[in-house]
């Protein structure tokens, strides 16, 4: 039995840091484990241009603990009015690594998102030309489409058209939750990849709805049926290069989660690697963990893999019930559980 695992330093290819006090509190958790992270732009107001992304990046860097090597990779929040020139200039200047497509009102702070994908075709053209990665929150928002079907419907209505009309555009299908998305990504060209969160590997939709409403298991896209979870586990642990780590850690304070209208988002940053590794261990696929966590993402984003390594070992990690944050508390993913791997160095 393998008891220790040394891998290249991993990266988190989908993450929410927020701003201000919460950002100060959460950045160290990510920087402890990951060398880089793709930082989501859904602040309020959102990060929609080069100037605001550059300022946000500086605030994040100021929150990285002394002596820790961590680089935030910034994304531009696409709106109906995104200026393709500013986006291309921002990418050229090294500020933007990617741009994020949120369908309007699909998730937390997405009210300014894109109302119709057709409206941003000039931006997608510019991105394809400038080789800027497109990150997609792939859910339709129509009221007549069941929340559990919104990802599959997005594939039919939009994903197929985007990859057909922009064959050279690199597209990340973010936080996939269905076997439909796995199949779509596998069948698409090498310009299409996907991130997978730890929660979607661990839970199916029962975790949200059985035994009372479980707000801390609620995130978007929502967890689906068991068959989808199994398809995601197979994809993540298969060694296929198209799938990589993206935690979608999305901190909301306890009061915002445990409310009559609880926010979507799971705060998994503190023990993300241990959470993923538990799944790879259960699937007897430890040999594929480094590809998923540390190699496939850099390869897709065309950045070097890290020289540094991180070592994980079999051993207890006790996840606290709550963590103090911003004068309140936050409930972490796996709250109160014991995980069977820990970071040793
Ligand atoms: C994210 C958030 O809170 O910003 N929430 C979530 O449930 N994942 C937004 C998102 O990625 O959908
Ligand atoms: Zn997210």
pLDDT in tens, 98-110: 999 999 998 888 8
Q: What pLDDT sits at residue 318?
A: 98
Q: Distance, CA 317 to ligand 2 centroid (Å)?
A: 25
CA distance 177 to 249: 15
What's the token pair of residue 188?
A: 């698409």
Q: Which residues line ligand 1 (CB under 6 A)?
A: 16, 42, 107-108, 137, 219-220, 248, 250, 264-265
Q: What pLDDT sits at residue 250?
A: 98
User: Across 249-337, where does the E strand assignment appear?
Assistant: 309-318, 323-325, 328-330
Q: What pLDDT sits at residue 345?
A: 73
Task: List, for the chain, all residue ranges whose pLDDT scores fall below the cut of 70.
Answer: none
Mutational test site, ligand 1, from 12, 42, 256, max ligand atoms within 8 Å of CB: 42
**Ligand 1 atom at shortest distance from the alpha carbon of 263:** 3
CA distance 264 to 318: 25
Q: What pLDDT sits at residue 63?
A: 98
**Ligand 1 atom at shortest distance from the alpha carbon of 14:** 11
Catalytic residues: 248
**Ligand 1 atom at shortest distance from the alpha carbon of 219:** 7
Q: Distance, CA 107 to ligand 1 centroid (Å)?
A: 6
What's the token pair of residue 272?
A: 């993300």
236-245 burial, b at 16+ Cβ within 10 Å, e below that, comes to bbbebebbbb
CA of 195, nearest ligand number:
2
CA distance 308 to 305: 9
Q: Distance, CA 291 to ligand 2 centroid (Å)?
A: 22
CA angle 41, 46, 48 (to 5 degrees): 80
Q: What pLDDT sits at residue 2?
A: 87
CA distance 27 to 25: 6
Terminal CA-to-CA distance of the chain, rounded, Å? 20
CA distance 67 to 301: 26
Q: Distance, CA 66 to ligand 2 centroid (Å)?
A: 27
Q: What pLDDT sits at residue 341?
A: 98
Estimate the crossing angle of helix 50-63 against helix 84-92, to 10 degrees.
40
Q: What pLDDT sits at residue 108?
A: 84
DSSP class of residue 231 equals H
Q: What pLDDT sits at residue 1?
A: 80
pTM (predicted TM-score): 0.98
Mutational test site, ligand 1, from 219, 222, 263, max ligand atoms within 8 Å of CB: 219
């Amino acid at each position: 039995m393998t008891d220790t695992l040394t891998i290249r330093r991993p990266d988190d290819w989908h993450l929410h840091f927020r701003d201000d006090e919460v950002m100060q509190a959460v950045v160290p958790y990510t920087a402890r484990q990951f060398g880089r992270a793709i930082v989501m732009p859904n602040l309020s107001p959102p990060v929609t241009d080069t100037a605001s992304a550059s300022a946000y990046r500086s605030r994040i860097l100021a929150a990285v603990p002394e002596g820790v090597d961590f680089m935030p990779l910034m994304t531009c929040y696409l709106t109906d009015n995104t200026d393709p020139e500013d986006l291309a200039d921002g990418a050229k200047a090294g500020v933007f690594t990617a741009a994020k497509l949120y369908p309007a009102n699909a998730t937390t702070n997405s009210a300014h998102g894109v109302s119709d994908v057709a409206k941003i075709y000039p931006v997608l053209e510019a991105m394809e030309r400038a080789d800027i990665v497109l990150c997609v929150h792939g859910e339709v928002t129509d009221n007549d489409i069941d929340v559990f079907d919104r990802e599959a419907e997005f594939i039919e209505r939009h994903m197929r058209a985007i990859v057909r009309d922009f064959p050279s555009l690199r597209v990340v299908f973010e936080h996939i939750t269905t076997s439909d998305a796995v199949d779509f990504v596998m069948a698409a060209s090498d310009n299409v990849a996907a991130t997978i969160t730890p929660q979607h590997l661990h839970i199916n939709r029962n975790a949200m709805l059985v035994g009372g409403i479980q707000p801390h298991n609620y995130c978007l896209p929502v967890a689906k049926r068991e068959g989808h979870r199994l398809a995601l586990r197979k994809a993540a642990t298969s060694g296929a290069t198209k799938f990589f780590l993206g935690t979608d850690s999305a901190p909301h304070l306890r009061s915002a989660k445990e409310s009559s209208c609880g926010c979507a988002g799971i705060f998994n940053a503190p023990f993300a690697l241990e959470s993923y590794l538990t799944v790879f261990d259960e699937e007897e696929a430890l040999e594929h963990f480094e590809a998923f966590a540390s190699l496939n993402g850099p390869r897709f984003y065309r950045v070097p893999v890290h020289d540094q390594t991180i070592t994980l070992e079999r051993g207890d990690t006790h996840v606290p019930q709550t963590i103090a944050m911003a004068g309140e508390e936050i409930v972490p993913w796996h709250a109160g559980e014991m995980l069977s791997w820990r970071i040793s160095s």
